[in-house]
Chain A
């Protein structure tokens, strides 16, 4: 009987898609302005960043680890970019390359220390989080870079598709496709997954697990730096506090998107499009709560409740699909 249900319906992504649609319906009917051009544009700018942050976390969760330094790393990279453009007058294209390289380097540090000490990356990145953020604050003296080239800031406020969509969202969606391709069809992508799923088996089949883990952390740094650049373009300035103290404001979306998307915390599984849907869901709920006017201060509370609900719902879905598959 189970065979009649298409496989896609049983996946996590399907459940997420339903939730996204349900929430869109609820918010469109219960609030004014949810479907307005302005709101959709604003949503697309926020979602773009949340997707990127979620992906940056996802590639580290693949190793069974976590990257707490994500926000600090992203902001440090963005501030580096601001410095390159404003103080050094380096052209935009070269700056972006330098920032991405810098982000990858910070990611490499995370990966290298994690692999060499054998300590859980939670602790390593907890430490590097305060190191990166501390150095960034010291070097910039907590001053923002506000005189960025116009071509750069204009890109962040560009409106495409009848002024509905931000180009930032297109970058994020493209990144999703690239990552999907890498994990699905390339040699290195499969090796990364194998190393995350079962390090011992991967090691025995000739994959250097340590190197793969370092690659994952570098990729995470790369994506976080990209998110930092996108945020800078969106705000129009590189501000040390743009991701909150120690970059904490990025942590919730960073974990929620991949976890809601079905990425296993124990590692070895990635769901690129699940992460994308997870990010969309979180942004929708956040935005809708503000529009419903639950009160600015209660938004966090409801966000926490909804997330808990979503995680529990996902567990229930898993439980029933497992039960069904055993029956058939």
Chain B
């Protein structure tokens, strides 16, 4: 039990359960099948985006280009199907390859030049977004195969959409990667302390490139899932991903300096953000309040994490220079 209490996701889980009960007591519409369906869709999409950012946070960097990669893949995916009448499977494959290539570019340049990933991904954000706009000339692609539309909107049973399948698989794989594989542990070691991880023989090049490639792949999947959901490929897919992509991992207790992430807590962070956004809509609160609220949520999470660290420090009585 006490081990459970220490987990990042435990407190979040409690907040989630009690919050949901409270909201549904006031507004029973909150647990209506339709609302749950909408909630699950938004959770599914943001989950992938949050994981894409989380893996970069794990190695102590930031990826500003997550949304730009998602957008570029989204329009390539739909463009291939509409303009070149390609079938779905090869289009998905090429979409994934584009995501992989974008991630590789980010990782390769970052690790080879030693320039902060923040600056590199800011530049590639403009490059990828520019390619997106250059190709589409800001016009959306509308002709999406029926199967794709079906996948984005059909339900398995009850209110559960098909769209949740891929994000759940990704979350499980990410948990295995971060907790059960040496690659994941090396990433955390690298994020914690670059010098010492190199001294014990971890290759920075490999770690950074792998992390960025995975981030690119996840952003690509996110972009294609949004296409399924919206039933069209608009160039502005991904534009609004930046804030939520950081919000969920930070609310889930990730430390931006790297070396500590929690996949389950990040997933709970996504659910929490989605529930709150949804609740504000149900209570008919101005959509701009959702944004303000998200901002306050991040600050609150930051304060709570800080307080927990402080308590941890006092308990272990280890001198800390922070």
Contacts and interface: CB of A to CB of B under 8 A. Distances in A.
Interface of A: 66, 113, 117-120, 122-124, 126-131, 133-135, 137-138, 200, 245-246, 251-252, 255, 259, 265, 295, 297-305, 307-308, 311-312, 315
A131 B293 CA distance: 7
B44 interface: no
A62 to B, nearest CB: 15
Contact of B291 (A119, A123, A133, A299): A133
A307 B123 contact: yes
Contacts, number: 131
Given A117-B306, A304-B130, A134 B291 contact: yes
Contact of A122 (B115, B128, B256): B256
Contacts of A259: 119
Contacts of B118: 66, 265
Measured as residues with beta carbon below 8 angstroms from the partner, the interface class of chain B is: 35 or more
A123 B306 contact: no
B134 interface: yes
Contacts of B124: 304, 308
A130 B243 contact: yes
Interface stretch (B174-182, B184-192, B209-217, B295-303): B295-303
Contacts of B240: 245
Which of B137, B239, B247, B292 has the most C-beta atoms of chain A within 10 angstroms of its own C-beta?
Answer: B292
A305 B131 CA distance: 11
Given A308-B123, A311-B123, A134 B292 contact: yes
Given A123-B250, A124-B299, A138 B292 contact: yes
B60 to A, nearest CB: 10
Given A131-B295, A255-B122, 8 more contacts: A117-B303, A126-B242, A134-B289, A135-B292, A259-B119, A297-B137, A303-B130, A312-B115
Interface string B113-139: 111101110111111111101101110
Contacts of A66: 118
Given A113-B299, A298-B130, A138 B109 contact: no
Contacts of B43: none
Interface of B: 62, 109, 113-116, 118-120, 122-131, 133-134, 136-138, 239-240, 242-243, 246-247, 250, 256-257, 286, 288-292, 294-299, 302-303, 305-306, 321-322
Given A134-B289, A315-B115, A300 B130 contact: yes
A135 B298 CA distance: 16
B288 to A, nearest CB: 5
B122 A252 contact: yes
A255 B64 CA distance: 13
A127 B134 contact: no
B322 A137 contact: no
Contact of A311 (B115, B131, B138, B322): B115
For chain A, what secondary structure do more than half of its interface residues adopt (helix, strand, loop), or is it mixed? helix
A123 B120 CA distance: 19
Given A127-B298, A307-B123, A299 B130 contact: yes
Contact of A126 (B115, B129, B138, B246): B246
B113 A300 contact: no
B285 to A, nearest CB: 10
A214 to B, nearest CB: 16
Of all A-B residue pairs in the complex, the 5 with the closest CB atoms, nearest first, are: A301-B130, A304-B126, A300-B130, A134-B292, A304-B127
B129 A300 contact: yes
A138 B288 contact: yes
Contact of A118 (B131, B138, B322): B322
A35 B302 CA distance: 51
Contacts of B299: 113, 124, 127-128, 131
Contacts of B290: 134
Nearest to A297: B133
Contacts of A252: 122, 126
A135 B239 CA distance: 21
B133 A300 contact: yes
Nearest to A256: B122
A133 B127 CA distance: 26
Contacts of A298: 130, 133-134
Contact of A297 (B126, B130, B305, B322): B130
A255 to B, nearest CB: 6
Nearest to B123: A308
Nearest to A300: B130
Contacts of A113: 299, 302
Contacts of A265: 116, 118-119
